[in-house]
Amino acid sequence: MTSPPTGTGAGFMRLHPDGTASRGSRILGAVVLVSVVVFLFLALVASKPDESLDAQGQLVRIMYLHVPSAIACYTAFFVTAAASAMYLWKKTMGWDALAASSAEIGVIFVVITLLTGSIWGHTTWGTWWEWDPRLTSTALMFVMYLGYLALRRAIIDPVSRAKQSAVLGIIAIVNVPIVHFSVDWWRSLHQTATVASLDPKINGLRLLALFVGMIVALMLYVWLMMHRFRLAYAEAALEAKGLDLALAERRAEALADGGAVPASVEHEGVS
């Protein structure tokens, strides 16, 4: 089955006929690409290492990744919660697709936050993991949203999945401050003064690099969302059409480990 060529334009602007790209996403993609190059130049070449009293040296450059990706992941999870609330209100699959897409991209950014934080920590603390309150609560948040994605994979019926994960998407964002606060409080009791925190003093060109990093991360988030949302939307449309091709994987995963479940328990896909 071949689709009619839909792409307009040529060269860079030529769109793949089957893909999730549009004119808008291609233009934003080009802007992101240029900004990434500018960001890398600022972050790795133009900005000077941190030579202040509490010197980070070259390592301050890791912060230009760590902080923006943390901001991007919080943005993503907030969008998931907002889209979940909109789903419960409007009950349209678009909001569900938006919530799901944002959670998945958020998880990618959480992983980057954790890894860059851990790499930075290894240079400062000498170990890959120190019980820094922010890293620890971020790790819990990571598992929480893995659970959200796992719930989505476990429910086959689209309406049931959308409703349940919408509730979870809202509860999850409520959890974030509770977990953050309690872990913070927990560490403040035990913290020794010698442990440096992830709080370098940043100014001048270094501040610019950090700032550009945040802009790039948020633009990248929007660009990824455009594609991921269309992918989720296409999957939902296929599901609705009963074309099981896209569903096959999901169904196989959900059903593979059924074990000794009595037949009467199979609620999925019934309601």
Partner 1 sequence: MPELAADSMLRDAATVVGKDLRLEWRSRVTLSQILPFALLVLILFAFALDPDRRILEEATPGLFWLAVLFSMLLAIQRAYAVETADGVIDALRLSDLDPAGIFLGKAAGIGLHLLVLEVALFAGVTVLYGATPRGYLLLVATMLLATAGLAAAGSLYGVLAAGLRVRDTLLPILMLPVVAPVLIAGTEAFSAAYAESSGDGWKWCGLLAAFSVLYLAIGIFAFEPLLEES
Partner 2 sequence: MVVLAEASAWSYVGLAYGVTIGLLGGYTAWMLRRGRKIGRQLPAEDRTWSS
Contacting positions for partner 1 (CB under 8 A): 88, 140-141, 143-144, 146-147, 150-151, 154-155, 157, 159-160, 163-164, 166-168, 170-171, 174-175, 178-179, 181-183, 185-186, 189, 254-255, 257-259, 261-262, 264-268, 271
| Among partner 2, partner 1, none, residue 159 binds (CB under 5-8 Å by kind) | partner 1
Q: How far is the CB of 114 from partner 2 (least distance, A)?
A: 10
| Among partner 1, partner 2, none, residue 16 binds (CB under 5-8 Å by kind) | partner 2
Q: How far apart are CA 80 and CA 173, in angstroms?
A: 9
Burial readout 229-246 (b: 16 or more C-beta within 10 A, e: otherwise): bbbbbebbeebeeeeeeb
Residues 6 or more apart in contact with residue 184 via CB below 8 angstroms: 133, 134, 137
| Among partner 1, partner 2, none, residue 263 binds (CB under 5-8 Å by kind) | none
x/- site string to partner 2, residues 162 to 201, per CB under 8 A? ----------------------------------x-----
Nearer to partner 1, 102 or 165 (CB): 165
Residues 6 or more apart in contact with residue 175 via CB below 8 angstroms: 141, 144
Are 113 and 69 spatial neighbours (Cβ–Cβ below 8 Å)? yes
The CA dihedral of 44, 45, 47, 53, to the nearest 10 degrees, is: 70
57 forms bridges with which residues in the sheet?
Answer: 50
35, 124, 160, 164: which one binds partner 2 (CB under 8 A): 124
Sign of the torsion angle spanned by Cα atoms 250, 150, 105, 86: positive
Are 121 and 132 spatial neighbours (Cβ–Cβ below 8 Å)? yes
Q: Is 235 in the site for partner 2 (CB under 8 A)?
A: yes
69, 102, 138, 165: which one binds partner 2 (CB under 8 A): 69
Residue 249 burial by Cβ neighbours in a 10 Å radius (0-12, 13-18, 19+)? exposed
50 secondary structure, DSSP code: B
Report which secondary-structure segment, H or E, holds 249.
helix 247-256
Q: Is 100 in the site for partner 2 (CB under 8 A)?
A: no
31, 34, 243, 255: which one binds partner 2 (CB under 8 A): 243
Number of residues binding to partner 2, judged by CB under 8 A: 52
CA Rg value for the chain: 22
Q: Which residues sit at the interface with partner 2, rule CB under 8 A?
A: 1, 3-4, 6-7, 15-22, 25, 40, 44, 54-55, 57-59, 61-62, 65-66, 69, 105, 108, 111-112, 115-116, 119-120, 122-124, 126, 196, 220, 224, 227-228, 230-231, 234-235, 237-238, 243, 245-246
